[in-house]
Amino acid sequence: MKIVRIEPIIDAGAFSHSHEWREIEGHIVQAIKSVEWPPGSGSFTLYDEPGKKRGRGSGVKPIKEACMHKLKFLGWQLETPVDIATVRRPGPMDATRPVGDRLFCVEWETGNVSSSHRAINKMALGILKKILIGGALIVPTREMYKYLTDRIGNFPEIEPYFPLWRALHIDEGLLVVIAIEHDAVSQDVPRIKKGTDGRALK
């Protein structure tokens, strides 16, 4: 799997120039690039079905689980409850790593574009409240999107809203959106099933 773009939408203070961020970024890049399909192939190839019917794309959660498994191996905590002091506590962060008395979190999009907005809002609020030092949302490109579960949140759909998050007054923190893409498509690989154990993808 390849990374097409890492786009900062909040970059305040010195964190983005720190050793901690360089190490975190290295872990995230390593985890994303470790995801492969079929297993053992050394690359990430999605099934391309001519005339694909709606809802017939490859599953998304198994891809995420493979990346999260790699982050766990690198020492990250998965499914971390984080209280960002809202009226209703949001769901746990997909993966977190402590940075001093704060956390850096990673969220991998498996829902629709509304879910992408919620994920960015959750991380931005955590940075604003000084609970998070930063966060990364991983989303597919438009090119990858068409081979996945229908209506999955993707980079082009959230990009028009970046100016909104950039307008926040933040003293210190980094929030990035990472656009990922497959290496190739083929009719000779199996479709990733929606219920597949993600560890099978590593």
- Host H or E run for residue 69: helix 61-73
Q: Is 109 a catalytic residue?
A: yes
Active-site position among 20, 36, 79, 109: 109
Show contacts of 183-186: CB within 8 Å, 24+ apart.
183/1, 183/2, 183/43, 183/44, 183/45, 184/43, 184/44, 184/45, 184/46, 185/45, 185/46, 185/47, 185/48, 185/147, 186/45, 186/46, 186/47, 186/48
Q: b or e along 82-114 (b: 16 or more beta carbons within 10 Å of the residue's beta carbon)?
A: bebeeeeebeebbbbbebeebbbbbbbbbeebe
Residues annotated as catalytic are 109
